């Protein structure tokens, strides 16, 4: 009887508590859920405790494996997710009706774009639109725009969700590159085969670089990379610091006087750039303004 009351009572609970519950249940830990929601672990822990107290049930088993739903938690999870999605839908519709070009716009982008490309762009936006505040989420995963983890996502693949509106912006060319300090010390490769005699910087688990260079170095493996990392920012800084030859975005290379583009005629894959937002917020002038601004800025960036 108490459990049935708990289910009925879900509609009366602060939806932020339910949102935190759903995020922890999906992520399996406070830390992962905190990153997803851009909240602190203590805040999420407090939300879970408040929700358990309000419903008078234990929702999770806490242990070394993280947060695991109890039987009661599992039964409440689907109801909680439905409530969370309804609240998010309400928020999206309300946001879509706002006419003023002011307020916060949350942008999700890959680590390199978020750290190395967007700040300069938003400095210009800040001059043009004094009423807009920007939040940047640096993440290489596809943000869940359906639950408003972000208002706009910049992605290198086309989002597949039907509820999202996506438009292709441009293709960013990629080039081999290295720090001038490294090249002055080790020489400059003249042919793709010369790369075998150089230190290479690459990904640890990701195979994007291996696949990109496969036509020229078919026997290339991760062990050929003297320095390996799957963090894009660490990767870029490692190349900048002179650890070896890597692959970078052509506009970034040309803007950095420490870097030099190598084998410019060597065909490499491009990075397709997509802008995505939820259909419900297309009517928001501030989101549309930022989306149009990013579209123009990213096209200009890719051509620089």
What would the two tokens of residue 278 be? 């939820």
Terminal CA-to-CA distance of the chain, rounded, Å? 66
Sign of CA dihedral 84, 90, 92, 95: negative
pLDDT above 90: percentage of residues in the chain: 56
- Residue 3's pLDDT is what? 44
Band the pLDDT of 160: cuts 50, 70, 90.
confident
Q: Which helix (H) or strand (E) holds 66?
A: strand 66-69
- Residue 6's pLDDT is what? 47
Band the pLDDT of 5: cuts 50, 70, 90.
very low
Q: CA–CA separation, 69 vs 79, rounded Å?
A: 14
What would the two tokens of residue 148 be? 């408003």
Angle of helix 15-27 versus helix 41-55 axis, rounded to 10 = 110
Question: Which domains, and CATH codes, for the chain?
Answer: 2-96 (1.10.10.10), 101-304 (3.40.190.290)
Q: What is the mean pLDDT of the chain?
A: 87
- Residue 2's pLDDT is what? 45
Q: CA–CA separation, 33 vs 20, rounded Å?
A: 8
The predicted model scores a pTM of: 0.67
pLDDT digits (tens, 9 = 90+) for 184-232: 999 999 999 999 999 999 999 989 999 999 999 999 999 999 999 999 9
**Residues 132-151, mean pLDDT to the nearest whole number:** 77
What would the two tokens of residue 260 be? 């030099």
More confident residue, 121 or 7: 121
pLDDT digits (tens, 9 = 90+) for 17-30: 888 898 899 889 99
Q: Are 293 and 125 in contact (CB under 8 A)?
A: yes
- Residue 7's pLDDT is what? 44
Q: CA–CA separation, 185 vs 173, rounded Å?
A: 27
**Residues 5-12, mean pLDDT to the nearest whole number:** 48
To which residue do tokens 């690459």 refer? 202
Cα–Cα separations (whole angstroms), residue 267 to 184, 193, 198, 234, 263: 24, 14, 19, 25, 9
Q: Which of 97-101, 163-167, 227-231 comes out lowest in average pLDDT?
A: 97-101
């Amino acid at each position: 009887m108490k459990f049935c009351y708990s289910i009925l009572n879900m509609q009366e609970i602060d939806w932020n508590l339910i949102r935190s519950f759903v995020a922890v249940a999906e992520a399996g830990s406070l830390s992962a859920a905190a990153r997803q929601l851009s909240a602190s672990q203590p805040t999420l822990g407090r939300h879970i405790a408040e929700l358990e107290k309000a419903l008078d049930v234990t929702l999770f088993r806490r242990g070394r494996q993280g947060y695991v739903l109890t039987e009661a938690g599992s039964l409440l999870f689907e109801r909680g997710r439905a409530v969370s999605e309804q609240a998010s839908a309400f928020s999206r519709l309300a946001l879509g009706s706002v006419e003023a070009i002011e307020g916060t716009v949350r942008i999700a982008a890959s680590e390199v774009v978020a750290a190395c490309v967007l700040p300069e762009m938003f400095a210009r936006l800040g001059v043009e639109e004094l009423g807009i505040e920007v939040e940047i989420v640096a993440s290489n995963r596809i943000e869940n725009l359906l639950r408003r983890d972000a208002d706009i996502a910049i992605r290198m693949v086309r989002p597949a969700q039907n509820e999202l509106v996506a438009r292709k912006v441009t293709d960013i060319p990629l080039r081999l590159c290295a720090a001038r300090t490294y090249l002055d010390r080790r020489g400059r490769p003249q042919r793709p085969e010369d790369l075998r005699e150089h230190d290479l910087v690459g990904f640890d688990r990701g195979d994007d670089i291996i696949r990109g260079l496969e036509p020229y170095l078919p026997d290339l493996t991760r062990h050929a990379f003297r320095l390996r990392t799957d963090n894009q920012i660490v990767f870029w800084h490692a190349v900048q610091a002179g650890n070896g030859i890597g692959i970078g975005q052509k506009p970034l290379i040309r803007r950095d006087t420490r870097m030099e583009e190598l084998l410019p005629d060597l065909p490499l894959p491009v990075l397709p750039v997509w802008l995505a937002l939820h259909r419900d917020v297309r009517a928001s002038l501030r989101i549309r303004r930022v989306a149009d601004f990013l579209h123009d800025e990213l096209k200009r960036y890719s051509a620089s």
